[in-house]
């Protein structure tokens, strides 16, 4: 992240700290439940698979190349070879937000997941920590994806995960056409305004009431923030949550009026 991006993120964090609300100030039963059942959840189940994955990378001294990274976020690492542990520490989703993915799946009866941006599978570990969920995860960097697939096979957690080597645009339409009922889509692979809007628009024709979209790093850059604002204001979005790093949108028709909340986390 360059200096201008850091200044952008800091400016918006100060606004977020000032205007976000806790569970007693939202006046929304849905948001109250989101905070108490997900954000305040004390269980550690969501971390078990991530810990196994990290141990595998460390104990086997796995090396990866960033040469084939396609997204703007991972391109900031440059072109070099580095340890899988260092790579995942730099670009992997922190446990605090992994708990959110795990909780959204658990509390919303999610059966399937589409992940745009596998990387070394840290986010994948949170998304697949609910045993009954089928995960399709897409990654453009074949060398990194092969390392991740092998890691999951070694730790014995690959049966419910379908690893796909592709650029997102080439497969997303077909994945969406297969149906998005009770599906969570995690968009984390390309920190670019036009790309994020394009992925959102690809999903829209197939959205169901039970579909949830989660966008990572919504304050990573001005373009990412612009895309987030465009997305949560879309007429199809009935309720949206901003927890600073992540933006979450719901399409439940029971929400007659559009609602947007910045939730302190």
3-state secondary structure of 162: strand
Regarding beta strands 259-262 and 239-242, do their DSSP bridges make them parallel or antiparallel, or are they unpaired?
parallel
The CATH number of whichever domain residue 125 belongs to comes to: 3.40.50.150
- DSSP-assigned beta bridge partners for residue 185: 114, 213
- Residue 176: phi and psi, rounded to 5, are -70, -40
Q: List per-residue pLDDT tens for the chain, 265 residues long.
A: 789 899 999 999 999 999 999 999 988 999 999 999 999 999 999 999 999 999 999 999 999 887 755 555 554 555 678 898 888 888 889 999 999 999 999 999 999 999 999 999 999 999 999 888 999 999 999 999 999 999 999 998 778 999 999 999 999 999 999 999 999 999 998 889 999 999 999 999 999 999 999 999 999 999 999 999 999 999 999 999 999 999 999 998 877 789 999 999 9
What is the rounded average pLDDT for all residues in the chain? 92
Instruction: Give the integer Cα–Cα distance in Å for 249 and 214.
Output: 7
**Burial of residue 90, with CB atoms counted within 10 A of its CB: 0-12 exposed, 13-18 middle, 19 or more buried:** middle
- The token duo for 85 is 């542990």
**Total domains in the fold of the chain:** 1
State which residues form the domain around 55.
3-262
Q: What is the DSSP letter of 94?
A: P
Question: What is the pLDDT, as a whole number, of residue 68?
Answer: 59
Instruction: Give the integer Cα–Cα distance in Å for 77 and 64.
Output: 12
pTM comes to: 0.94
């Amino acid at each position: 992240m360059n200096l201008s991006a850091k200044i952008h993120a800091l400016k918006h964090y100060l606004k977020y700290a000032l205007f976000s609300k806790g569970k007693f100030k939202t006046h929304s039963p849905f948001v109250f439940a989101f905070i108490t059942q997900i954000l305040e959840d004390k269980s550690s189940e969501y971390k078990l698979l991530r810990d196994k994955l990290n141990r595998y990378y460390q104990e086997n001294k796995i090396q990866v190349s960033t040469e084939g990274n396609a997204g703007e976020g991972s391109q900031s690492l440059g072109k070099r070879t580095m340890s899988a542990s260092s790579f995942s520490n730099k670009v992997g989703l922190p446990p605090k937000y992994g708990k959110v993915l795990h909780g959204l799946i658990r509390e919303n009866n999610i059966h399937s997941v589409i992940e745009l941006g596998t990387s070394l599978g840290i986010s994948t570990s949170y998304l697949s920590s609910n045993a009954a969920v089928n995960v399709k995860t897409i990654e453009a960097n074949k060398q990194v994806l092969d390392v991740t697939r092998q890691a999951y096979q070694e730790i014995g957690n690959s049966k419910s995960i379908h690893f796909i080597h592709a650029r997102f645009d080439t497969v997303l339409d077909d994945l969406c056409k297969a149906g998005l009922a009770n599906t969570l889509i995690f968009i984390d692979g390309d920190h670019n305004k036009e790309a994020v809007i394009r992925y959102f628009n690809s999903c829209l024709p197939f959205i169901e009431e039970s579909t949830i979209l989660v966008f990572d790093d919504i304050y990573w850059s001005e373009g990412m923030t612009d895309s987030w604002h465009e997305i949560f204001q879309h007429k199809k979005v009935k309720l949206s949550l901003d927890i600073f790093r992540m933006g979450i949108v719901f399409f439940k028709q029971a929400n007659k009026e559009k609602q947007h909340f910045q939730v302190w986390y």
